[in-house]
Amino acid sequence: MKIVFWNVYKKDLTNELAILAQEIDPDILFLAECTMNVADVLNSLNRLRTSYFFNYDPICLKIHMFSKFRDKFVKPITGSLRYTVRNVKIPLYPSFNLMCLHFQSKQNWDAPSQAAHSATMSTVIKEFEGKTKSSNSIIIGDFNMNPFEPGMIQTTGFHSTMSKSIAQRKSRIVDGHEYPFFYNPMWSFFGDEGKGDVNGTFYSSRSQPINYFWSIFDQVLIRPDLIPYLEDDGVKIITEFGVAKKLLKPNETIDDAISDHLPISCTLKRI
């Protein structure tokens, strides 16, 4: 099962989405900052064959979900303006909670504010895992933080780690309180020797003293019990849709005529 997330930057990408559906063929597609008409998106995704439904969430208006599954297979659990949560039950796959979010931007919130709010998100995660009686959860989306930032790694935040072996300890105790882990495979894309063809999902070359240039704001987090079902090669930063559409400029920065973010994907194995 392939899950794709893309912050489309309020662009009209109906033609690009048709190519994405043909070449990448996601089973679940999340679009953030999507101002395209839903009907137009569906026409694009189903241009070659009718495969996709619009899985409407009346609360989460910042993220649109399209998938090959009717709502009864991806039932809504909870949501807000910036996140939607589904309980995914597809035959032949492990059942899991799927959260897609669009976290507050650095243009509006500084790093301490983002870290502080990550504690609120931790509470949301605890609540929907309690509601479904399952800690099998995947979170995908635009976190607007790098994997190493406090909000991503602190115990009271998303508490994600770069290491499978550490994540598979399930949790750790700090000051008498137990905190469950997420595994974050996106760490592996940093640097020239990292995975994939690009060093991040977002590029910025601002003239300021500290600049990472490449950031990995778009990430996928996965609970330890789902790690055996995660295809390592299925976690990708997508830079092209086959040979049909390239998302990078010749200088290997993001083609912002398309979007300012690159899409990401993760793939789950069958049981």
Q: pLDDT tens digits, residue range 227-262?
A: 999 998 999 999 999 888 999 999 999 999 999 999
User: What integer pLDDT is reported at residue 242 of this predicted model?
Assistant: 86
Total number of domains constituting the chain: 1
Average pLDDT score over the chain: 97
**pLDDT of 206 above 90:** no
Separation CA 249–CA 247 (nearest Å) = 7
**pLDDT of 115 above 90:** yes
Residue 230, sorted as left (phi over 0), alpha (psi -120 to 50) or beta, turns out to be: beta
User: What integer pLDDT is reported at residue 207 of this predicted model?
Assistant: 87
Bridging pattern class, strands 245-246 and 240-241: antiparallel
- Name the token pair of 159: 């508490």
Residue 76: CATH number of its domain: 3.60.10.10
pTM of the model: 0.98
> What are the pLDDT digits (tens) for 60-103?
999 999 999 999 999 999 999 999 999 999 999 999 999 999 99
Separation CA 123–CA 120 (nearest Å) = 5
- For residue 153, give its domain range: 2-267
